[in-house]
Amino acid sequence: MTGKVYLVGAGPGDARLITIKGKDCIEKADAVVYDRLASPRLLRWMKPGAVKVYVGKLPDRHTMKQEEINQLLVDLALKGKTVVRLKGGDPTIFGRVGEEAELLYKNGIDFEIVPGITSSISVPAYAGIPVTHRDLASSLSIITGHESPDKLDQMIDWEKVTNATGTLIFMMGVAKIGYISRQLIAHGRPPETPVALVRWGTRAEQDTITGTLVDIEEIVKAARFEAPAVIVVGEVVLQREHLKWAEKLPLFGKRILVTRARSQASTLVSRIEDLGGEPYEFPVIETVMPTSDTILHQIQQAFEELDQYDWIFFTSVNGVDFFYKHLNETGKDIRLLANARIAAVGPATAAALRERGLVAEVLQERYQAEGLVETFGPELKAGQRVLLPRGDKGRSWLPDELSRRGLHVTDVKIYETVPYAQEDDELVKLFEEGGIHAVTFTSSSTVTYLVQALEQMGGEALLEQLRQCTIACIGPLTAETAEMAGLKVSLMAKEATIESLVEALCEWNKDEPRRHRK
């Protein structure tokens, strides 16, 4: 049975700008064919077992020729696969979608074209430039600037194009900016007409320069401004001074690596995005149910005695989540905890309990195990029974201290933390090009397993790139692990919370200079 091909516009770079239908197509695809103009973050929506096919440029291979890409789509579909061809921006605007669709048609393969948000309008918008304006421009033209001057002259009727619309958008024309400017002036555009070039718009590397037709070439050369960029010509450029919203966001210009488990990363990822940064998710751990018969027996036994505990200490959100999973599997009733006092380490853990109808004891200020003892120390009496449901990587300090005080501690490992990191060529390239500006660690496990993953993917050279990044840790224990791994910790949250970690990143970015990829 022949498959189907979806020619999907991936948007300009910010992964959130893909359409809902585009996301749906990625989720059901058996194979996704993409290049570097499509955000690699979009690939996280692929289903397990789906194939990624990168057709962009690699160090040992030039970009796959368009004819080869066309044939690749045919071959994959003939194998019965549902295929997504991810194309930057909108596939119908200089995306060569016509050539791909035509070969699919000739081979009798069903296809759909899924429009995307074109960079011709979205990139200027992220730079604070509306491409139309009631008082300044009621029309626009989108023009290729990629070809040589001879070909540009063949493709563009400068006499008609120059003054045809209020705004002119040139795609991929940075290297030809001088020629384009001279042609527009020669055909009637005033030399003082405003011009803007926006490079890598909607991404962490977004950069904008402005000038006029008469001086923009020299400005581009002086700034060493390189492709890819969108060129905007017209009075709408003047709106940028008042409307450059993205650059005012506190994490603008920074790509931040998020290493925590994907099931827990959403809050941190969302906060980074909301504040103008670009999160790159690379989960290095995942939490799973124990498989050891011995551990499972210990959990079963602990849950048989739920009505006999005086205290239950929850030390993480994972502890809460897995406690309820085991509660369900053992068929126990939460009302068995009626006589127990319940305490939580940190507001996130308390919130996880509150969502399930349990209100934890008053929280301590110090969001780690020591804080539990500091807060409840006078009320911890010898002979009391304590249930400590937590992961297999938990420190021994808390059960040891409780035992020293004469309490009977049932320390059950209700979940396990295991390595999750997978090969990620895009992440390797970002590190090598200086495209990762900060790395966040929310536990000692994330430090240990990221170092292991990078060592496997790129050896000592990649670890050295990691050392060049700003390292941000959620607390002193995590920071200690990072330091032991040879990393210099530059940022640490004042409180062991995601929000506090984000606040530290925002403070850092106030004075941190912009760094661009090599």
Write down the residue that tokens 């021994």 correspond to. 396
Could you count the other beta carbons within 10 Å of the beta carbon of residue 459?
A: 10
Tokens read off for 285: 């751990």
Cα separation, 37 vs 118, whole angstroms: 12
Query: Which residues contact residue 217 at a Cβ distance below 8 angstroms, ignoring those fewer than 6 apart?
Result: 177, 178, 181
For the question of residue 35 being annotated catalytic, the response is yes
For the question of residue 30 being annotated catalytic, the response is no
Task: Show the DSSP H helices in 280-346 as ranges.
Answer: 293-304, 317-330
Helix H or strand E segment including 307:
none
Give, to the nearest 10 degrees, the angle between helix 444-467 and helix 425-432: 50
Write down the residue that tokens 């037709």 correspond to. 213
Which of 4, 14, 30, 35 is flagged as catalytic?
A: 35
For the question of residue 57 being annotated catalytic, the response is yes
Which of 21, 24, 172, 321 is flagged as catalytic?
A: 172
Q: What does the angle CA 149 – CA 151 – CA 155 come to, to the nearest 5 degrees?
A: 115
Q: What does the angle CA 15 – CA 20 – CA 25 come to, to the nearest 5 degrees?
A: 90
Side by side, which strands form the sheet with 82-87?
51-54, 31-34, 82-87, 4-9, 110-114
**DSSP readout, 344-393?**
ESSHHHHHHHHHTT-PPPPPPSS-SHHHHHHHHGGG--TT-EEEEEEETT
Terminal-residue alpha carbon distance, the chain:
45
Cα separation, 506 vs 182, whole angstroms: 43
Query: Which residues contact residue 134 at a Cβ distance below 8 angstroms, ignoring those fewer than 6 apart?
Result: none
Cα separation, 443 vs 477, whole angstroms: 8
Q: Give me the active site residues, please.
A: 35, 57, 172
